[in-house]
Amino acid sequence: MGIEIERKFLVIGEPWRDSPGVAFRQGYLCTDPARTVRVRLAGAHGYLTIKGESHGATRTEYEYEIPAAEAQEMLDQLCPGPQIEKTRYRLDEDGLIWEVDVFAGENAGLVLAEVELDDEGQEIALPAWVGREVTGDPRYYNASLSRRPFTTWSVTDETADPAAPCQIELERPDP
C-alpha cells in the first residue's frame, strides 16, 4: 500500500526562490473527503493520483505517470474548475526535500510548504522561511482549494501574517 506522511506549513520569507520552479496544473475527478482522484500536469509530465482520507499527517496515496497529452485532455474535458495552478520549488534542507507551492489563478496569494516524512513522529528542523503549520486544516488541501479557492476566503488582519494563529473564516454560500 502506498502511504504518504506529509506536513504542511504556510511560508514566510523567500530564500527558497533561488531554486528552479516547475509549473503545475491539476484538477480533480473526485473530491470526496474519503478519497480524491487528481489529474496533474507537472511540466511536461502527466500523473493520475488517488489519495485516501487523511489521518493526522498520514494517508494512502497511489500515483501513476500517464501521457501528458492524456492528462491535458482530462483536465480540459473531465475536471471541473477552478483548477489548481501553481509553481513548485523543490529544495533540500537538512536532508529533507521541501516542496514550496506558489499558487496562481483563483488561489493567488497562497504559498505553502510541504515536507514528506518517514513517520509522523519524525522530528524536523523548520527552515527560517516556514511559518504556521496547517497540516490538519482541510482548507489547505489542494482538493479543497479547487472547490473553495483561497481568493474567496475572508481574512482578518491577524492572518495576513502566516506565523499568526489561524483566524480564517470561509464565506458560506446562501442556502
Residues annotated catalytic, as ranges: 28
Q: Which of 84, 93, 134 is nearest to 112 (CA)?
A: 134
Peptide bond into 82 cis (omega under 30): yes
Strands (E) across the chain are located at 3-11, 21-30, 35-42, 45-52, 58-66, 84-93, 96-103, 111-116, 130-133
Q: Which of 83, 82, 93, 85 is nearest to 9 (CA)?
A: 93
Q: What is the spatial distance between Cα 129 and Cα 63, in angstroms, rounded to a whole number? A: 29
- What sign does the dihedral 102-105-108-114 (CA atoms) show? negative
